[in-house]
Chains A and B, each alone.
Chain A
């Protein structure tokens, strides 16, 4: 393979690069401002209004922020946050594996699809939280129940999107794989999974928010630790600033997970973005 040597061109390009870096830094600063602008305004409004508005149920934001540290950093990280995240990630991972495996099987066979699709649509239409009481009967109130609740709720968008993705793979690409006699495992990895990856990611993104909701709900139903459990406990003991810190923390966890998700997606689907951009006719 050719080894490119960008260093050779460096001296010439350096001044241009410096100017480019400056402009890029400016653009980045502007983007950050746009992204953080609205949150900053909302926080400021909340801060000021809650300071004036003396309500037991809506404590001042200042008080919530002051309570945050003592509430969470003295034992609750390992006691509540870590168990919650473990359940969330286990259930989510189970949903992804299950959804992709079943989705590939169903998407690869027209017969299986015709057979399974109505049933899948029905299950997808059931709001996942109603499954919690039923699953409690079978699996008790332990971690297993919560993982299964999360997995069974989050699996549907992944499953259905994977089916769509596998079905949408270009038939000519399949023919190419056949004429070059790619082995089943290569075909699965290089043709099917990569070909369906844009839809798999779409499903996985929807599944992530469902999984978070189900984690909280299952913990609110029955648990002795976890984020959802803590929030309910605070509410029941009228520790309202603490309850609000729990809600904030949940929001932050959600944002963080979605940022991680997007970073992974950026790398894995770089080809997809590039292809779509070039189809739209060049640079955005």
Chain B
């Protein structure tokens, strides 16, 4: 849509979620996964989502991705209502190993979506090579996914999403299976990508530090049935690095605050009695909805 200049104007709305409600109807017993979620994400933003396990984070992403029809509410992406997987979106699934084609090599897995975009061959090879290198897998393009470790498979899925050059990238706990050092590298890779390509990023994680380090906003979800506990603005400088940023006093404050919220969410605390009940949170309103 918009040509990616250095950074698209923050005012344009990329994603809008209004009163999202999702009930799973399985085996006769309905599960209310998401009660009421309302939030906006501007183009070029990086938003992290944290919340207790089973809060419906994956469900939320699948609804946004057009893979799961919501029970109620509206979702629109780049101004168009979502009814099926939209163009220019990539998703890194939580179950990364199952999202790779076992009959294709690593390079073929990364290349497949690029073929579908009808990119010329040279361009495809350049993107495949560069994205594999970026995730530290330059040496295994001809291996098959099942020949790799869990963390390596996860990085293939990330490389595939990165090579696709989407407008919006959604990642569901993408670094859960990698070691701490690789994890730090991948965090910086994601930040760098976000900077360079001006993409919009939606990042689900269990790790509070990671959420604050990466995001400009952190959406804290309550336990099931899910509403937003708080929409926390991360007012840290835009230039971040692993040591410096994490040692800032403000980083510590934010971490304590989000930790507190997640603990409350786990204990079943709900923001129902707050003025803005059930809808978007209070603290970090960055832009008018």
Contact = CB atoms under 8 A, between A and B. Distances in A.
Nearest to B170: A179
B98 A170 contact: yes
Contacts of B17: none
Contacts of A179: 65-67, 85, 89-91
Contacts of B101: 173, 176, 190-191, 194
Interface in B111-155: 112-113, 115-116, 125, 129, 138-139, 141-142, 144, 146-147
Nearest to A183: B116
Given A172-B98, A176-B93, A190-B101, A181 B147 contact: no
Given A1-B129, A179-B85, A275 B102 contact: yes
Interface in B185-235: none
Give the interface size bracket for B toward A.
20 to 34
A74 interface: no
A170 B103 CA distance: 13
B177 interface: no
B116 A194 contact: no
A175 B93 contact: yes
A171 to B, nearest CB: 9
Interface string B141-181: 11010110000000000000000100000000000000000
B113 A180 contact: yes
A181 B107 contact: no
Given A180-B116, A180-B164, A279-B146, A173 B125 contact: no
A2 interface: yes
Given A1-B141, A180-B116, A271 B103 contact: yes
A279 B147 CA distance: 10
Contact of B87 (A2, A176, A181, A194): A181
17 contacts: A170-B98, A173-B99, A175-B93, A176-B101, A178-B67, A179-B89, A179-B90, A179-B91, A180-B112, A181-B116, A186-B116, A190-B104, A190-B112, A197-B103, A274-B144, A275-B102, A278-B147
Interface of B: 62, 65-67, 84-85, 87, 89-91, 93, 95, 98-99, 101-104, 107, 112-113, 115-116, 125, 129, 138-139, 141-142, 144, 146-147, 164
